[in-house]
Structure 1
């Protein structure tokens, strides 16, 4: 085993032989050049080859790294004087699930009008997959995700997020309890998707929901659509559990996307046969497996609607005349959406 330490003024490497009674120090060497900390490791790999397990090459250190004390940071003029250009920062409160979080970030990137790295919108991602199951909390009295969501939102606030997006439809059932506890505004995926349906399909009267059972039970989409003059229908109980929930679990578990696609196509056709003029992918795992080429009925991706709203909001903030004078960094005019 080798430990490389940079905690002292003279960085050093120590080698230990591991045996059934513990370990014995067999070499120590001061490293004069921090950038060449692998040098002693390479020499020892030959000199002490008999002390290392055959499957563990010496030159791959068990512990190695650079460490800087707080005092060093306080005295660092390069860092102390650094101030990045002011840009709106999107905070993604994710991990519910991880693949859905990555999908939202990818869509934000693809929607951003950028010709180089520096033209893209700054994004901070806080992804904690330990957040308790939202559907279980809604339907079965499981552990509340609210403390976890507040914790993540506050972390994003501390890191400089100007507003927050949550790539989890079911989590939106709890955001009324989260928003009063955090400063950055949280954009609503529900409103973004419902507005997009009304704008792009102004004559639509019936929308079919493909969502978790928790989202359906909370009726967050049914209420948002009804407020826009649209009725929502949901799958029958058998289709909901056998197709929709099974497909969502398959995506979360990283199983074959083809398996999930087939199940969702069956659910989509079921809703279309019952009169749905537009389908809404109202769970962030669903657009990972179901896309427009898979079905004939128009499909709205709630994740894409949220990504579009996030990009538009960030670009608006960057161009707002109120940006510099805003006390919160939000800077939206009163009549802005």
Structure 2
């Protein structure tokens, strides 16, 4: 039991070291010697990735391109996530200009170095204090420090001459990034700090992680410079390590059938309350029409689709889906055996549908089911209905054959038809169910809503009967899950 508890408390941190080898190594050293780690060395596990970024030596001038850097940071972060890391440390100010973009695509936190800096500054100076920032041209002009500190503090930067000398000291031949921490490079940084003090800066705030390498020497010269690597190390070992909650992502088993998949996605979009693109739900779809026919398996014992359905669900799970939707009624005959082997839930369209009907029309109702013969024979709707206090009735043999012809026939829905014979056949079967006593009709094959629409009052040869579309109910449920997250 003790080992289990220790494992539960362990915190695994990934450090991206390739964006500045010396600064990354310095951060790692300060992590290892931090008080929290020394007091409880068994709790902290560090994974240090030192794969040099190919453009690491390029100076971060005002117009530096970030695309390659973004890809590099994302790839390393994703590798950390796949290896069970709890949080990522990113010791690079330029990369923190796009940290939020990377965070959106991950399920683990990229610890915010600027937030660490802001918290530390809040403990050492009062609001309104002038802060002198030593940063690259790129970071300086990105507005990064203004976003984090500009509301509470006055921010100043070195004058033009001092800034140019600073960039040369950092990125030039025999500069600080190359390990030359004394002589001309150090003096250039020192002069930049003096220019900030002349502007009233009470402390020198780092905007380059390499400044941690010379911070002790600056302090010995009387410069009140902050050591960002020490601050970041303390922040990481004090954080609670709870993963951020990335935007909800819906996984969709597509291709069963193909047109129904597109129809379902359209319903998710249509029912999502959103004022702009970014407020819609993330969806990852595997459109796999090669999944063996579910009805053929249930009726004639043809190829079992279980493994194909399971493999598709696992790929969606690996893609970060928080829930999985299968817009195929017949496929739900296989859901129970699949779900036990997945870490994410399959939203059960059938149980959601019958519960929705019970909630809107009351229990004790008789429900007419228009579905494939495989769905009918599997009894999956019947079982779900019993739990909700509803009774399911299905068409007689001739009318059921008519439903199958409307779906699978030469002029059926799976062949691309939505008008003509297939519609007439479905209407005849629907009227037959109404005459048998159905109070509500379920469009229990995801192709059927391509012909007949979800409706609270569908006019059927002089009668009015509700038509319930399970894919609409499934879409509504998936939207609700996303909003609840």
TM-score when scaled to structure 2?
Answer: 0.49
Structure 2: distance between partners of 1:153 and 1:116: 29
Does 1:287 pair with 2:449?
A: yes
How has the CA–CA distance of structure 1 residues 134 and 118 changed in structure 2, closer, same or farther, with 3 Å as cutoff? same
Contact 1:94–1:127 (8 Å) recurs in 2: yes
How has the CA–CA distance of structure 1 residues 172 and 77 changed in structure 2, closer, same or farther, with 3 Å as cutoff? same
1:211-251 deviations in Å (ceiling 9; x for gaps): 1100000101111112221111000011001x211111211
1:251-304 deviations in Å (ceiling 9; x for gaps): 111124333221111110000011000001111011111124463211111111
Of structures 1 and 2, the larger Rg is shown by 2
1:265 alignment counterpart:
427
Does 1:105 pair with 2:265?
A: yes
Structure 1: distance between partners of 2:326 and 2:435: 32
1:244 alignment counterpart:
403
Tell me which of 315, 323, 329 is aligned to 2:483. 315
Contact 2:363–2:388 (8 Å) recurs in 1: no
TM-score when scaled to structure 1?
Answer: 0.70
Contact 1:107–1:304 (8 Å) recurs in 2: yes
Contact 1:74–1:80 (8 Å) recurs in 2: no
Tell me the secondary structure at the aligned position of residue 209 of structure 1: strand
1:27-86 deviations in Å (ceiling 9; x for gaps): xxxxxxxxxxxxxxxxxxxxxxxxxxxxxxxxxxxxxxxxxxxx9999842213341422
List structure 1 runs of 4+ shifted beyond 6 angstroms. 71-75
Unpaired segments of 5 or more residues in structure 2? 1-50, 56-67, 75-101, 105-245
1:301 alignment counterpart:
469
Quote the offset at 1:140 in angstroms: 1.1
Alpha carbon RMSD of aligned pairs, Å?
Answer: 1.9
1:78 alignment counterpart:
70
Quote the offset at 1:119 in angstroms: 0.6
Structure 1: distance between partners of 2:280 and 2:53: 29
2:280 alignment counterpart:
120
The structure showing larger relative contact order (alpha-carbon pairs under 8 Å, at least 6 residues apart) is 1
Structure 2: distance between partners of 1:185 and 1:94: 16
1:41 alignment counterpart:
none
2:303 alignment counterpart:
143
How has the CA–CA distance of structure 1 residues 77 and 96 changed in structure 2, closer, same or farther, with 3 Å as cutoff? same
2:209 alignment counterpart:
none
Quote the offset at 1:205 in angstroms: 1.8
Contact 1:204–1:277 (8 Å) recurs in 2: no
Contact 1:246–1:260 (8 Å) recurs in 2: yes
Aligned length: 246
Contact 1:135–1:170 (8 Å) recurs in 2: yes
Deviates more, 1:78-87 or 1:214-223: 78-87
Quote the offset at 1:151 in angstroms: 1.1
Structure 1: distance between partners of 2:382 and 2:54: 53
Contact 1:209–1:235 (8 Å) recurs in 2: yes
Structure 2: distance between partners of 1:171 and 1:142: 14
Superposed counterparts of 1:162-311, under 5 Å = 162-202=322-362, 204-241=364-401, 243-249=402-408, 250-291=412-453, 292=455, 293=458, 295=460, 296-311=464-479
Unpaired segments of 5 or more residues in structure 1? 1-70, 318-337
Structure 2: distance between partners of 1:183 and 1:74: 37
How has the CA–CA distance of structure 1 residues 74 and 139 changed in structure 2, closer, same or farther, with 3 Å as cutoff? farther
1:309-330 deviations in Å (ceiling 9; x for gaps): 111011111xxxxxxxxxxxxx
Tell me the secondary structure at the aligned position of residue 262 of structure 1: helix
Contact 1:281–1:300 (8 Å) recurs in 2: yes
Structure 1: distance between partners of 2:52 and 2:405: 53
